[in-house]
Amino acid sequence: MTTRPTSSPSRSERPRPSAADELVAPILRWYDENARDLPWRRPDATPWSVLVSEFMLQQTPVVRVLPVHEAWLDRWPTPAALAAESSGEAVRAWGRLGYPRRALRLHAAATAITEEHGGEVPSEYDALLALPGIGDYTAAAVAAFAYGRRQVVLDTNVRRVLARTVTGTEFPPRSVTRAERDLGADLLPEDAPAAATWSVAVMELGALVCTADRPRCDACPVVAACAWQRAGAPAYDGPPRPVQTYAGTDRQCRGRLLAVLRDAPGDVTRAQLDAAWDDVPQRERALASLLADGLVAARADGRYQLP
């Protein structure tokens, strides 16, 4: 989701003159030795593979994405291949990755790429940002990781690493700030390929070492330069961090209803949907939201199907 800057840069949040030297080179060396072998990072990965991975990795762990990404690229190796099928097939293939509206958005992006860009994923940030379903982070990530562009890429992992190492706080603000963007730009190597590698390297450090819970500071290549460690690793004292739950929520109910539709060879009856969830008011609410989101279509004969 595109986030507008919300505050002016603070001098205290800008890196010291030596911060880039203290952080960039060690993290790049660490990445060279510890990077995971992921299909969307390989030299032969297509920009489409990178784009698909970025949609799937939003709020979903890598281990769950890997098999779905592989199956997706086998079935739809190009944006045009996906665009040629219904959005309902995209929802079906999305399986249990969660947040299935991402499947609709990816299908819409594939359609726009096919119709407006000759089937080629755009390489420039502005063109990527203009695609449906793509916000600031995804546009920057695809430009950097698929095309080696020099872009500030700020996902949750990157923001946490920079918050700790440079500003000395355990967690970043809930929304991306202007100060964070300036900090990301200050640390970005001038050389475009090096900048793209830096962006994925600091992201990997946040995913594997500088994690939200139980960070492995003893394995961190920049622990000696980390402002948070120098300050004694003070506990986070900002606004309460949101805690996501799933069991018993509308999200789980929506997932159960979608599973009935995904697993059926065609349309389904209302009775089949009713059998998937006992709480009638919640089931009605979840079904209404699925219809409103375009994830489910109601037929004139009272049956339901994927769009």
Active site residues: 54
Longest dimension (CA), the chain: 69
Identify whether the C-beta of residue 142 lies closer than 8 Å to the C-beta of residue 54. Answer: yes
* Residue 39: DSSP 8-state: G
- Residue by residue, what is the 3-state secondary structure of 198-258? HHHHHHHHHHHCCCCCCCCHHHCCCHHHCHHHHCCCCCCCCCCCCCCCCCCCHHHHHHHHH
Cβ neighbourhood burial of 204 (10 Å; 0-12, 13-18, 19+): buried
From residue 181, how far is each of 1, 86, 104, 124, 186 by CA, in Å? 15, 38, 29, 19, 9
133, 221, 155, 186: which is closest to 13 by C-alpha? 186
Asked whether the beta carbons of 165 and 227 are under 8 A apart, the reply is yes
Asked if residue 83 lies in contact with residue 111, where contact means CB atoms within 8 angstroms, the answer is yes
